[in-house]
Structure 1
Amino acid sequence: MRLRTVLATTTAALAATTCLSAAGPANASTTHACSPSVSIDRFSDALDKTSYDGTFVGNFSALAVDRDGSLAALSDRSSLFSLDARTLAPRGVVALADENGAALDSEGLVIDRDGTRLVTSETEPSVRRYSTDGRVLDRLPVPDALRVAPAGRAVANGTFEGLTWYRGGRSLLASMEYALSGDTSGAVRFQTWRRTGAGFALSTQYAYQPDAGLGVPEVQSLPDGRLLVLERGFTSGVGNTVRLYLADPRHATDTSGVENLTGQDGVRLVRKTLLTDIATCPTLGATAKQPQPNPLLDNIEGMTITGRGKGAWKVLLVSDDNQNAVQTTRFYYLSVKPAR
């Protein structure tokens, strides 16, 4: 999503423009560490300010690994790109729209086992299922309270940002970015849907407390039911804050029947543990086009788990450049070892 405080090539060169750390294997464990749990392997600005088939490549809000191993990258301007998983070179792009042909504020993405795409839009908010060629197949139900005011209590540009499979693919989980009006504790709602024979039905809802001044742009589920949660904010003249948390909703209260989250309501929140603040990562030679606490930082918004190796989850992040000259489309390759 375009942060409320933010001011408003060719594919052949992609592999050559990928930015890799110059550190060798001998000192990688020290120079690449962001924290005891997270290290950054490399980053890439290969797609920054490029275009493909007449479509601007950027504004990325979500990532997912497709069934053929390629990378799906969702733009919040209603475009879904297929990227080469190694070079990031675009392979194709599909335009998305709602049932009336109107553009989406597309933010969250998962790919189902049959290849259909589930995509959130912040506008209503909504979760729609799309075919691989971009046709709307159906639409999931959304609780009234989570709808944007005046239909509900959500703030504009503060609804479904993150989307992930949950409980081994038996459920779907979407994260609100900001708190509902009346939820004075500042906790945000995580809504889930369970699979049914006909599709998906509303299920449990949880409350998650972001750090002060931050929202939740993305969430990804681990096989054991825990979540990786991104928290993000922006301060003009200072730059972005981006933190990665390990969260555990397994013993949290179902808040679907709780009208207002006040902090005095006896609700058990989703437990969270800080894995790293991205500002603590080594710069790896990155440069920033505007002030940042660390030049590696930008408006990081998308996240997916691409695999597992050497006891660590391979996690890929991407920043949303908002098609803005002072922001960068940047991919971040992390290794994450959450404690048990």
Structure 2
Amino acid sequence: MRTWLLILLLPVLTPGWDGPSRLGLLGPRVEFSATPVALDAADPARRRVGRLTYLGGVELKSPDLVFGGFSSLMVERKRFTLLSDGGNIVRFDMDAKWRIGARQFAELPGGPDNGWRKRDRDSESMIVDRRTGDVLIGFEFANAIWRYDHQLTAVHAHAAPRVMHRWYENGGPEAMVRMPDGATIVFAETVQPKARDGSKTPGRIAIRFAGDPTVRPNAGFGFVYLPPTDYDPSDAALLPDGRILVLNRKFALPFDFTAKLTIVDPRAIRPGARVRGEEIATFAAPLLHDNFEGLAVLREGPDTVIWMVSDDNQLFLQRSLLLKFRLEP
């Protein structure tokens, strides 16, 4: 569920144009800042939320209206790659004092359709193939998976798996995770249409592909992920012990986002299984809470570190938050 703010660039370039607006793109130089934020503004000393310890975080701000909308991220030591749901790429370094450097900006070089409209580049999920270094990106609307090189400068392969053809356009591959055996799990964001027999799955369809979906799009099986009530999966990541960390978010009127983290035991994933995760943290008032859509897990010494980023929908009512936690045993 998103609200889109399209940047009306075409009328400036082509007077009199009354067709669809051009997808907003970041320029070669974009200024943005990173301001530290407290987990609980009313209690800045608070550090615990469920089984997580807050290690710090920042709000990312820019005067460029196209900046934001981040739906997935990669973290490699101090290097961050944020991908928006319009195909914009923001890269930077961030040190232990939350200082930003080495900024870089780009757009995905290819994707479904011609890239003129936002729906042509609705990039919602991103994972790294540790064997090759390539990056897999899931696109809504097209319900497709595309493979890029590690720097996101060239397309290597793509596929629209048959098992995803009937997924809702705006409820497709919102979350992906790469398993230790090379399997790829893709989670649908929303409840999907009724099956041919008239039944309807109340959970979220997930597909465990036997390998790379761009190479073997029809090899694997389906199961059902049961998120917390009224929540939708928005990203997933592999924990060091092989379990799956799933980020779930909820939108409620008048305008409020909350999030929950769950851990799924992969041993429960079998053809047709209904799998529920163990809840480990909830992000709701008075704690920081927003439209969290991106998740990354890495090791720092003996610690399992979790990063989360929020999609501000490029609206002034929301924020681009980048937060760091330690998972407690």
> Is the structural similarity TM-score above 0.5?
yes
SS in 1 for 2:127: strand
Counterpart among 319, 323, 326 of residue 332 in structure 1? 323
Residue 137 of structure 2 aligns with an amino acid whose one-letter code is V
Counterpart among 41, 65, 73 of residue 55 in structure 2? 41
Post-superposition offset of 1:21 = 7.1
Aligned to 2:31: 10
Asked if structure 2 preserves the Cα contact closer than 8 Å seen for 1:249 and 1:270, the reply is no
Aligned to 1:272: 277
Counterpart among 161, 171, 181 of residue 183 in structure 2? 171
**CA distance 1:318–1:190, change in 2 (3 Å):** same
Residue 54 of structure 2 aligns with an amino acid whose one-letter code is I
Residue 252 of structure 2 aligns with an amino acid whose one-letter code is T
**Quick one: distance in 2 between partners of 1:72 and 1:243?**
23
SS in 2 for 1:84: strand
Residue 105 of structure 2 aligns with an amino acid whose one-letter code is V
SS in 1 for 2:320: coil
Aligned to 2:175: 162
Aligned to 1:134: 153
Aligned to 1:229: 246
Residues 175-221 of structure 1, C-alpha deviation per residue, up to 9 Å, x if partnerless? 1111211263411122222337x944432332111122211101111
TM-score by length of 2: 0.77
SS in 2 for 1:250: helix
User: Cα RMSD over matched residues?
Assistant: 2.9
Counterpart among 85, 88, 92 of residue 79 in structure 1? 88
- Equivalent pairs, count: 287
**Quick one: distance in 2 between partners of 1:133 and 1:222?**
24
Counterpart among 108, 132, 138 of residue 125 in structure 2? 108
Unaligned runs of 5+ in 2: 5-29
- What are the equivalent positions in structure 2 for 1:256-267 lying under 5 Å apart? none
Asked if structure 2 preserves the Cα contact closer than 8 Å seen for 1:225 and 1:250, the reply is no
Post-superposition offset of 1:89 = 4.2
**Quick one: distance in 2 between partners of 1:59 and 1:272?**
27
- What are the equivalent positions in structure 2 for 1:1-340 lying under 5 Å apart? 2=2, 10-11=31-32, 14=34, 17-19=35-37, 31-35=46-50, 37-45=51-59, 47-51=60-64, 56-66=66-76, 70-86=79-95, 87-89=99-101, 91-96=103-108, 97-98=110-111, 100-102=113-115, 103-113=120-130, 114-131=132-149, 132-144=151-163, 146-147=164-165, 152=166, 154-167=167-180, 170-182=182-194, 184-195=200-211, 199-201=215-217, 202-237=219-254, 239-255=256-272, 268-279=273-284, 293-294=285-286, 296-310=288-302, 312-337=303-328
**Quick one: distance in 2 between partners of 1:217 and 1:90?**
28
What's the % identity of the aligned pairs?
23
**Quick one: distance in 1 between partners of 2:292 and 2:189?**
13
SS in 2 for 1:325: coil
Post-superposition offset of 1:172 = 1.8
**CA distance 1:123–1:238, change in 2 (3 Å):** closer
Post-superposition offset of 1:81 = 2.1
**CA distance 1:90–1:175, change in 2 (3 Å):** farther
SS in 2 for 1:63: strand
Residues 288-310 of structure 1, C-alpha deviation per residue, up to 9 Å, x if partnerless? xxxxx336111111110132445
**Quick one: distance in 2 between partners of 1:88 and 1:112?**
27
Unaligned runs of 5+ in 1: 256-267, 280-292
SS in 2 for 1:2: coil
TM-score by length of 1: 0.75
**Quick one: distance in 1 between partners of 2:223 and 2:66?**
36
**CA distance 1:330–1:295, change in 2 (3 Å):** same
**CA distance 1:200–1:298, change in 2 (3 Å):** same
Asked if structure 2 preserves the Cα contact closer than 8 Å seen for 1:158 and 1:177, the reply is yes
